[in-house]
Structure 1
Amino acid sequence: MRITRKLLLQNITLVILILYIIVGCNPKHNAHIAQTGEASQLEHFNLAINEIDKGKEELSQKAKHLMQLYLQAPLEMRPAIYKLVFTKLFYLAYAHPDSSVLDFYKQQSLENSQFPLVTIEALFRVSSYNLFIKQEADSGMVSLVKVKKYFPQFNDTLYKNYYALYAQTMLQKGNLKEAANYYIKTIALAEKINDSSSIISNFGNLAVVYSQMNEDTKSIPLTVKCLNYFTAHKDSSSIFIGDVSLGRAYYTLKKVDSSFIYYNKALQLIDAGVHNPSVAFILYSNLGEIYSDSGDMKKSVYYYDLCKQPLKEMGSEEQYRIFTIYATKAYAHIRDVKKGVEEIKANIPVFEKDSDLINVRASYSSLSEIAFIKHQPADALRYYKLFDSVDNILSDNANKRYIADLQTKYETQRKEVKIQIQEKELTKKAAFNKLLILLLMMLGIGTAFIITRNRLMRKRKEAIMQQQFTTGLLAKTEEERGRIARDLHDGLSQELLLLKNQVNLGAKIEPQKIDHIINEVRTISRNIHPVMLDQIGFKESILSICNQITDSEQLFIAADIEYHSELSKEKELQLFRIIQEALNNIIKYASAQAAKVQIAKMHKYLKVLIQDNGKGFDVEAALNGRTAFGLLSILERSKAINGKASITSDSKGTIVNIEIPLSYG
């Protein structure tokens, strides 16, 4: 993933949000004003607002005067002008971040109980400010939670705006599936109310989702469609973002000539006066990267130097960290970059804490290339191995599978909207309704038959698997008893007999010999029951076996465990055995270089994921084979703790997913 993908997508979705969150003033209230003879006063305020907007003052002064004008307006006038004022304030705050605008929005969300529409819009704006200006998804979500109590007063337009902000929150959190679902809901409502700007805007949102999935061939046509819309409306700020977006997408696809066409257009817009520090930073850093890849370090350093001014204006620590990763690599060709290298190393734990493996991978890649440039081959190889380990974890297969599902869901949603619009007409056709009911009854009978047959087949298969597991368990139990007996007889018994003879002969007993016997006893005991579960707890036990495997250089394991004793001790033991079995299978059969163990609480479930990048296998064939005890053990132990386990595998690796409902204790 390129340096600026995340930052660019945030700017694209900002333009898309502004396009359809701007709605005209409340017509009912305006009519009321006209009827009471206050139309001239409304016209006065509208003229004053536009005069401030077109003035030559600094942006912060414009914002201050707009807020003062709004607060001076009579209370009954505010519902007629709030959207115009709120929208212009948002544009000003985005171009020149101003916390007083956020404070103003918060104040209006509290002081307008008699005007719920003003309160709703103010909460939307608080969320927008946090999402697009401060780029704080959690803060943006707080306002969306507050606005839920007004749902009974929502119409399709308000729901559409809510869905758009919720989708943006999910996008910033990296939950692409949830973001896409809410973008599709927004498209459905936009089509229902014939809101063409929202429809085109959400094509852009789907393009954002595709870009996040590294599917630029699918995102480009949608982005072009949005760019054509912006061009037709002569929206230079949005055209600037669209040009930079297409330039980056084409470069990702190695179409350098097409990439430069759009980058040059963007540079011309800057010369023409378009000011957007965030997107300018993206443009300059993309060009710095292009020239660095082509070996033109003079131009690369030139554009990375240009990044510093917009980066200073934005003041985002995240953007600075990402800039350091890529710019330091270019500067390494012309000067000492020890400080930059130390910053990259210091930022890796920050990325790991945020589970941002993409930038962890980029950091190791940059460190490897810098070491190579500085003629440090040992460091270059060491960092490359770390890069390769993380890179193997980051597979795009799940996203690619979801692309098809996403397109299908979008088409299905469109059909559902058309059915909803035509529903009144369909109800008038009694004959059609009778036929439809008959077909549904037939479909229900057929579905019931299929479900019953599948249920019987599934139970039969489960019975066979249970029998195989029981047989395997008995065999494993006897095998384990035999192993313990051999360990006691051949090892521990012989050692004790030798020690007894030495005592009888009066020989000196070495303490190391006694320590060796004690360690053997501990090893046998640990194999029978993991004592460390009782001593250090479940989470530390899992981390311990992951570290042991990594330290032995058998396998690199990344562990991300959020666990706070949600399960009983008995279930912890079963889950420990499941993870232990899965890791043993990876070591024995997968030929993997890296794996990860992830445990997190999701709603009312504890979710466990064990993933590797090995050669994979045929899961169904393995479960039906004679050596499936390990896999059956994972499935059956999961059932024993009321959990549900699934195993998927292909040539890119294997994933074991387990969901354990917490309501069971």
Structure 2
Amino acid sequence: MNKPFACILLLVIIMLFVNCREKKENAVIFVKEEPVKEDAVKAWLHKAENYKKSDKYLMVFYNYYDQKIKAKKYLNAAEILDIACVYLADSYDFNDRFLAKVKEFDSKYREKVPALKTTFVDAYLANYYFDKYNLKKACQYFKKITTLEPYDYNSCYNIARAYYDLSYIYYIMGKQNLSLLANQKSFEYFTKINNPKGLAFVYSNYANIYTAIGDKKRAIENADKAIQAYKKIDNTYNVYIGLINKISIYEYLKDERERPLIDSVYQAFTESKDESKILKIKLFDFKIENLIHENKLSEAKKIIDDLKPIVEDIDSDDLTQEYKLTSALYEIKKNPNYSNFEDFKKALPTLISNQQYEKVNMVYGLLQKNAIQNKDYKDALNYESKKKIIADSIGNIITRIKTVELEKKYQTEKKVQQLKIKEQTITNKNTTIALLGATLIGILFISFAFNLIQKQKKLRLEKQNAQLYTKQLLEKTEEERKRIASDLHDSVSHELLSLKNSLEQKAEITNQKIDAIINDIRSISRNLHPVMFDKIGLKESINQMVERAESVNDFMVTAEIDYHSVLSSSDELQIYRIVQEALSNIIKYADAIAAKISITENENSIIIEIKDNGKGFNVEETLNSKSSFGLHNIIERSRAIGGHANITSNTNGTIITIEIKKA
């Protein structure tokens, strides 16, 4: 085969491969796999009815799980723990023994199983902390799941569910713009696996968000969408959850349709003989409030007494608090002088600090009703003012505007994506014509091959010279920074300290000014050069950077560093600057929830990866713009130490990868 023909054939093959790959990427969808045949015990544990009806469920689980751990079959142990975690979390069952098992697996065996097979640990712990009103910690665990990339149906579902749960927590905390962003991410991942139940979850969250910002029409529309979606998949439990959500929306918006809906849903539930304890507590709480409103106190008392053993059996902080609030409403209606509110008042600071605004609003409402009943209108007005503050926290006007803007932006992006898909369809139909054109271009390309090779040799030499110059320039810059930092820290700062000591007897204002100057100088010193870098090394310096980023920006960053100081100190400093620049860009521009930094060393090279789950950007367009100094800084620093930087970005986030060949 002659060389020109071989080159043409190779070009055609490459074009076909790229075209096929583009088709695959534009149609990314994870299909649910057929369930693998399980052994008898695992199959028994997998059945939800066995968990609901059998007291021996956990005993069977513990025996089976311990056997797998003892046999060092950690993946099998993880799979069965995953099943149990789902059932217990959905049932608000956070008993100490099972929680200890989860934490033991997390600390001892988790690293022995692929990361995407262990997300259930983070999900269970997140739900546990949510039940204990620690929303910040719950957020951290859900965010850990969202930093991963799915590779199959189940992992995509778990990531989608984590975004959904994160969206709900942000809604409770009053961060409706973040809630909307997380919910849109959840929608994207559920769409990839075409999961109707997941999409119904998303509609429920949209209903909550629009309720918080006062968009009554959209709130009800999305609540109805969720209910209809559950009905289509014949999911009775979630149909009731959807109806409960709709009742809550009516209650929040003070809609007169609330009470008739409570009565009709309560009647349907009692006639169905449904045994779900969670649904019973939530629906019966609403029914008790209706009966109290209608002054049917004996009927309300009967339901309160019926619910008590169920609430005690579940032992959920969240559900117990709601039950106590409902019981207190009954007590103040029955006895105007009832004043046993100490537990609620003690709980308020914790609820407020954990941003559990819904529960705070319920407590204030209870205290306000008691004040009105006792004709204490001053206290009633005070509680009304506090309720207004909480309502503003849940959906303030700035958040409302941001949320509406985000919704418009998202709908526009969806339309753009649809247009791209149509364009891609047309492109695929014209593939044959494109390949013929590519063949002709290939023939022309071959005729210029020799000249191109010569030019490449020349460019390679120029690149080497430029690389040497850039490296020298950067090293000189860092040396100068280090010298200035040292002068500021060791000379000027010490002189000011001496000045402060000599003026101790003078006005306090002088000391304050001197302290401010000293702090400014130390700050300049740290910015010019990381003072402890030469002593603690690259790994610890990056860990300190990560800690500062998290504490200052309320932003989750993780670092995994497997590096053993094989580069020179000056090259390590360039790596530190690259990571610093990348992290700064993420915080400023990415709108990301979390980021991950990893440095891995193998036999031939060192790989640095900085990854976020932000909104992404057009790499080529940004690099060609006037506002891309940060990205060019990363690329040039990489070149200066013999590395190559690769930047990829899409709507799922941005990845910066740098490979440095060892000498």
Q: Provide the TM-score with structure 1 as the length reference.
A: 0.50
CA 1:261–1:142: 2 relative to 1, 3 Å: closer
Supply the distance in 2 between the matched residues of 1:360 and 1:81 (Cα, whole angstroms): 40
Q: How does 1:79-98 map to 2 (within 5 A)?
A: 83=79, 86-87=82-83, 89-95=85-91, 97=93, 98=95
Equivalent position SS for 2:335: coil
Which string of whole-angstrom CA distances, capped at 9 and with x for unpartnered residues, describes residues 182-232 of structure 1? 110121233344333332331222123223445443222222222223233
Do the aligned residues in 1 keep the contact of 2:167 with 2:182 (CA within 8 Å)? Answer: yes
Please state how far the C-alpha of 1:340 moved relative to its aligned partner: 1.8
Q: How does 1:20-169 map to 2 (within 5 A)?
A: 42=38, 44=40, 47-49=43-45, 54-55=49-50, 59-72=54-67, 83=79, 86-87=82-83, 89-95=85-91, 97=93, 98-109=95-106, 110-111=108-109, 113-116=111-114, 119-127=117-125, 129-130=127-128, 136-144=134-142, 151=149, 156-157=156-157, 159-169=159-169
Please state how far the C-alpha of 1:382 moved relative to its aligned partner: 2.0
Which residue is equivalent to 1:384?
A: 380
Which string of whole-angstrom CA distances, capped at 9 and with x for unpartnered residues, describes residues 528-558 of structure 1? x998x979x99xxxxxxxxxxxxxxxxxxxx
CA 1:185–1:318: 2 relative to 1, 3 Å: closer
CA 1:316–1:568: 2 relative to 1, 3 Å: farther
Q: What is the identity, as a one-letter code, of the residue corresponding to 1:62?
A: Y
Equivalent position SS for 1:340: coil
Which residue is equivalent to 1:223?
A: 223
Do the aligned residues in 2 keep the contact of 1:288 with 1:304 (CA within 8 Å)? Answer: yes
Do the aligned residues in 2 keep the contact of 1:244 with 1:266 (CA within 8 Å)? Answer: no
Unaligned runs of 5+ in 1: 1-21, 31-38, 433-528, 539-564, 572-600, 607-665
Equivalent position SS for 1:234: coil
Equivalent position SS for 1:91: helix
Equivalent position SS for 2:334: coil
CA 1:231–1:422: 2 relative to 1, 3 Å: same
Do the aligned residues in 2 keep the contact of 1:63 with 1:89 (CA within 8 Å)? Answer: no
Please state how far the C-alpha of 1:388 moved relative to its aligned partner: 3.8
**RMSD of aligned alpha carbons:** 5.0
Supply the distance in 2 between the matched residues of 1:566 and 1:181 (Cα, whole angstroms): 42
Do the aligned residues in 1 keep the contact of 2:200 with 2:230 (CA within 8 Å)? Answer: no
Q: What is the identity, as a one-letter code, of the residue corresponding to 2:222?
A: L
Do the aligned residues in 2 keep the contact of 1:160 with 1:186 (CA within 8 Å)? Answer: yes
Q: How many aligned positions are there?
A: 417
Supply the distance in 2 between the matched residues of 1:566 and 1:222 (Cα, whole angstroms): 57
CA 1:321–1:263: 2 relative to 1, 3 Å: same
Q: Which deviates more, 237-246 or 335-344?
A: 335-344
Do the aligned residues in 1 keep the contact of 2:123 with 2:142 (CA within 8 Å)? Answer: no
Which residue is equivalent to 2:232?
A: 232
CA 1:23–1:179: 2 relative to 1, 3 Å: farther
CA 1:235–1:64: 2 relative to 1, 3 Å: farther
Please state how far the C-alpha of 1:293 moved relative to its aligned partner: 3.7
Which residue is equivalent to 2:608?
A: none
Supply the distance in 2 between the matched residues of 1:566 and 1:399 (Cα, whole angstroms): 39
Supply the distance in 1 between the matched residues of 2:92 and 2:357 (Cα, whole angstroms): 32
Supply the distance in 1 between the matched residues of 2:387 and 2:518 (Cα, whole angstroms): 32
CA 1:182–1:101: 2 relative to 1, 3 Å: same
Supply the distance in 2 between the matched residues of 1:266 and 1:227 (Cα, whole angstroms): 16
Q: Which of structures 1 and 2 has the larger relative contact order (alpha carbons within 8 angstroms, sep 6+)?
A: 2
Which string of whole-angstrom CA distances, capped at 9 and with x for unpartnered residues, describes residues 599-642 of structure 1? xx996479xxxxxxxxxxxxxxxxxxxxxxxxxxxxxxxxxxxx
Which residue is equivalent to 1:510?
A: none
Do the aligned residues in 2 keep the contact of 1:364 with 1:383 (CA within 8 Å)? Answer: no
Q: How does 1:347-386 map to 2 (within 5 A)?
A: 347-354=347-354, 363=363, 365-374=365-374, 377=375, 380-386=376-382
Supply the distance in 2 between the matched residues of 1:57 and 1:111 (Cα, whole angstroms): 28
Supply the distance in 2 between the matched residues of 1:260 and 1:132 (Cα, whole angstroms): 31
Supply the distance in 2 between the matched residues of 1:203 and 1:427 (Cα, whole angstroms): 34
Please state how far the C-alpha of 1:163 moved relative to its aligned partner: 2.8
Please state how far the C-alpha of 1:62 moved relative to its aligned partner: 0.7
Do the aligned residues in 1 keep the contact of 2:142 with 2:162 (CA within 8 Å)? Answer: yes
Which string of whole-angstrom CA distances, capped at 9 and with x for unpartnered residues, describes residues 102-155 of structure 1? 344444444254540564334344345425655643443444465578559787
Please state how far the C-alpha of 1:383 moved relative to its aligned partner: 0.3
Supply the distance in 1 between the matched residues of 2:274 and 2:286 (Cα, whole angstroms): 18
Supply the distance in 1 between the matched residues of 2:74 and 2:113 (Cα, whole angstroms): 9
Supply the distance in 1 between the matched residues of 2:279 and 2:508 (Cα, whole angstroms): 54
CA 1:46–1:25: 2 relative to 1, 3 Å: farther
Q: How does 1:142-541 map to 2 (within 5 A)?
A: 142-144=140-142, 151=149, 156-157=156-157, 159-252=159-252, 256=256, 259-270=259-270, 272-317=272-317, 320=320, 324=324, 327-335=327-335, 337-354=337-354, 363=363, 365-374=365-374, 377=375, 380-393=376-389, 394-395=391-392, 396-418=396-418, 421=421, 424-425=424-425
Equivalent position SS for 1:274: coil
Which string of whole-angstrom CA distances, capped at 9 and with x for unpartnered residues, describes residues 50-93 of structure 1? 5x755598655213313433554597987589657623552245
Q: What is the identity, as a one-letter code, of the residue corresponding to 1:64?
A: M
Supply the distance in 2 between the matched residues of 1:280 and 1:188 (Cα, whole angstroms): 33
CA 1:259–1:216: 2 relative to 1, 3 Å: farther
Q: What is the identity, as a one-letter code, of the residue corresponding to 2:163?
A: Y
Do the aligned residues in 1 keep the contact of 2:126 with 2:138 (CA within 8 Å)? Answer: yes
Do the aligned residues in 2 keep the contact of 1:53 with 1:62 (CA within 8 Å)? Answer: no
Supply the distance in 1 between the matched residues of 2:253 and 2:149 (Cα, whole angstroms): 43
Please state how far the C-alpha of 1:181 moved relative to its aligned partner: 0.3
Do the aligned residues in 2 keep the contact of 1:249 with 1:259 (CA within 8 Å)? Answer: no
Supply the distance in 2 between the matched residues of 1:383 and 1:246 (Cα, whole angstroms): 31
CA 1:310–1:197: 2 relative to 1, 3 Å: same
CA 1:45–1:284: 2 relative to 1, 3 Å: closer
Which string of whole-angstrom CA distances, capped at 9 and with x for unpartnered residues, describes residues 319-371 of structure 1? 55555555434422433654424444444444454466666665555444424
Supply the distance in 1 between the matched residues of 2:372 and 2:206 (Cα, whole angstroms): 39
CA 1:145–1:401: 2 relative to 1, 3 Å: closer
